[in-house]
């Protein structure tokens, strides 16, 4: 199970990976930047692949994404460049700010990767903006309802049914640099749930619209995580990779 299998791109070898990338590239649209080109493949399930090519037209990366329906307001506070690829990047932000442009009025800080990061220009910080945020399950548990969630917890420390812990910041002392991970420990209530089928591979995956601390989030997961179909009103908890996109053009410097 991986970030790829969370949206129906389940591959077992490097050879299968390149075959997948080639198929997606043939159906992709391009977005050029001064650091290279993104090739965006999208299908009706919401599954996306963002293929990266540098200025020498060499393949330098492929990132999955899920284009969902969640909307939440964040205050962007800093840009994060990743070392893996010149086209990778993320934003440090605060969730649900109560005062526009004031990050620390928000609920908590967190980092999310952005598939088209280098196409956005020189963004002004701080800046409150609406985003769509997707959470790719790296580990996830499902509970039929909030009571089952409460009963399933062990120890004195109990989790709220709606919680968001920005675990990717723990090892970076909350500094917005390349060491800040786009991961979180999240629990939330399912508002919508549906099995989706990836058009390119025919593989199914689980999608859920989840209400958590700070707003909604689109959760996607490999079906292998579930012994029963997640239902509306249930609770999910786990560790997730966070990736998002801005829903409007940002204010630039």
- The Cα 75–Cα 156 span in angstroms is 34
Q: What are phi and psi of 58, to 5 degrees?
A: -105, 140
Interval 186-210 mean pLDDT: 98
CB 234 within 8 A of CB 210: no
Is the residue at 253 inside a domain?
Answer: no
Is the residue at 14 inside a domain?
Answer: yes
Same domain, yes or no, for 229 and 172?
yes
Interval 11-28 mean pLDDT: 93
Confidence category of residue 170, pLDDT binned at 50, 70, 90: confident
Looking at the chain, the whole-number percentage of residues with pLDDT higher than 70 is: 96
Taking alpha carbons only, the member of 131, 16, 110 closest to residue 62 is 16
Q: What is the pLDDT of residue 177?
A: 57
Same domain, yes or no, for 121 and 205?
yes
- The Cα 206–Cα 229 span in angstroms is 9
Query: What 8-state DSSP symbol labels residue 252?
Result: B
Same domain, yes or no, for 137 and 82?
yes
Same domain, yes or no, for 42 and 93?
no
What pairing do the DSSP bridges indicate for beta strands 235-246 and 183-197?
Answer: antiparallel
Answer whether residue 237 shows pLDDT above 90. yes
Full-model pTM: 0.95
Is the residue at 251 inside a domain?
Answer: no
Same domain, yes or no, for 110 and 220?
yes
Same domain, yes or no, for 98 and 42?
no
Q: What is the mean pLDDT of the chain?
A: 94
Same domain, yes or no, for 156 and 99?
yes
- The Cα 42–Cα 30 span in angstroms is 12
Q: What is the pLDDT of residue 6?
A: 98
Answer whether residue 218 shows pLDDT above 90. yes
User: How many domains does the chain contain in total?
Assistant: 2
Q: What is the pLDDT of residue 178?
A: 54
Q: What is the pLDDT of residue 223?
A: 97
Q: What is the pLDDT of residue 101?
A: 86
Tell me which residue range forms the domain holding 132. Answer: 72-246
Same domain, yes or no, for 219 and 136?
yes
Q: What is the pLDDT of residue 30?
A: 98
Select the more confidently predicted residue: 224 or 171.
Answer: 224
Confidence category of residue 179, pLDDT binned at 50, 70, 90: low
Same domain, yes or no, for 119 and 29?
no
Same domain, yes or no, for 35 and 77?
no
H/E element holding 42? strand 36-42
Question: Given 13, 47, 66, which residue is the final one in a domain?
Answer: 66
Q: What is the pLDDT of residue 174?
A: 46
Same domain, yes or no, for 46 and 83?
no
Is the residue at 151 inside a domain?
Answer: yes
Taking alpha carbons only, the member of 242, 232, 233 closest to residue 185 is 242
Answer whether residue 214 shows pLDDT above 90. yes
pLDDT digits (tens, 9 = 90+) for 131-147: 999 999 999 999 999 99
């Amino acid at each position: 199970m991986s970030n790829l299998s969370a949206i129906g791109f389940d591959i077992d070898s490097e050879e299968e990976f390149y075959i997948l990338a080639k198929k997606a590239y043939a159906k992709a649209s391009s977005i050029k930047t001064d650091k290279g080109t993104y090739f965006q493949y999208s299908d009706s399930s919401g599954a996306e692949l963002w293929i990266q090519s540098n200025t020498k037209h060499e393949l330098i990366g492929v990132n999955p994404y899920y284009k969902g329906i969640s909307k939440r307001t964040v205050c962007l506070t800093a840009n994060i460049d990743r070392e893996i690829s010149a086209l990778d990047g993320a934003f440090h932000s605060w969730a649900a700010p109560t005062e526009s442009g004031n990050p620390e009025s928000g609920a908590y800080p967190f980092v999310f990767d952005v598939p088209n990061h280098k196409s956005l220009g020189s963004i002004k910080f701080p800046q409150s903006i609406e985003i769509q945020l997707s959470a790719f399950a790296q580990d996830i548990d499902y509970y039929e309802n909030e009571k089952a969630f409460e009963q399933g917890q062990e120890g004195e420390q109990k989790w709220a049914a709606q919680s968001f812990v920005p675990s990717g910041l723990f090892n970076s002392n909350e500094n917005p640099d390349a060491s800040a991970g786009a991961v979180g420990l999240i629990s939330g209530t399912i508002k919508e749930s549906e099995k989706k089928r990836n058009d390119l591979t025919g593989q199914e995956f689980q999608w859920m619209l989840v209400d958590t601390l700070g707003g909604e989030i689109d959760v996607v997961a490999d079906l292998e995580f579930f012994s029963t179909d997640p239902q509306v009103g249930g609770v999910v908890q786990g560790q997730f990779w966070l990736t998002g996109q801005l829903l409007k053009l940002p204010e630039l410097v």
